């Protein structure tokens, strides 16, 4: 296994994983804050497709690099409560995003650039909490 034999390869894949998380969470934070009413000068119809694509790229890279890192110590990771918590939180964050994007109110808000309904704003706030919690759980992995 390349990552187990090469400290440099492991370092580069790990750095790419962290950078992809930055891309993912950065786009999500910007989108969620916009749904919460921050930066209303930027139309949702412009921001959402752009930020959603960036988040998707970040997620794809994070999943690929994370899976590669996982192969170095699968048994250790599967026994780590923080790792399992991180996976659950990431899954919940992705599910939340899918639910948000498939709501009928989603298209209405995008088309009219209206203020997001309270339920959608609560979902955006929940998204911020989920992704921040996933980051904390990810950082916690090395300490268990």
Residues 106 and 79: their CA atoms lie apart, in Å, by 39
What pTM was computed for the model? 0.90
CA distance 131 to 59: 12
The DSSP 8-state label assigned to residue 141 in this structure reads G
Q: What is the DSSP letter of 1?
A: -
Residue 60 has what pLDDT? 98
106: its two tokens: 């989603």
Half-sphere exposure of 8 (CA within 13 A, CB side): 0
* Local confidence pLDDT in tens for the 144 residues of the chain: 777 777 788 899 999 999 999 999 999 999 999 999 998 898 988 899 999 999 999 999 999 999 999 999 999 999 999 999 999 999 999 999 999 999 988 888 888 877 889 999 999 999 999 999 999 999 999 887
């Amino acid at each position: 296994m390349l990552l187990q034999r090469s400290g440099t390869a492991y370092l580069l894949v790990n750095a790419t994983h962290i950078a992809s998380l930055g891309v993912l969470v950065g786009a999500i934070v910007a989108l969620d804050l916009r749904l919460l009413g921050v930066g209303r000068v930027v139309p949702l119809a412009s921001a959402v497709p752009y930020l959603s694509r960036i988040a998707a790229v970040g997620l794809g890279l994070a999943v690929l690099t994370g899976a590669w890192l996982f192969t170095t110590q699968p048994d250790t990771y599967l026994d780590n409560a923080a790792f399992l918590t991180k996976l659950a939180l990431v899954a919940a964050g992705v599910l939340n995003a899918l639910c948000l994007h498939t709501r009928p109110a989603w298209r209405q808000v995008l088309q009219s650039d209206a203020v997001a309904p309270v339920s959608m704003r609560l979902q955006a706030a929940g998204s911020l909490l989920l992704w921040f919690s996933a980051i904390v759980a990810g950082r916690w992995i090395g300490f268990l």
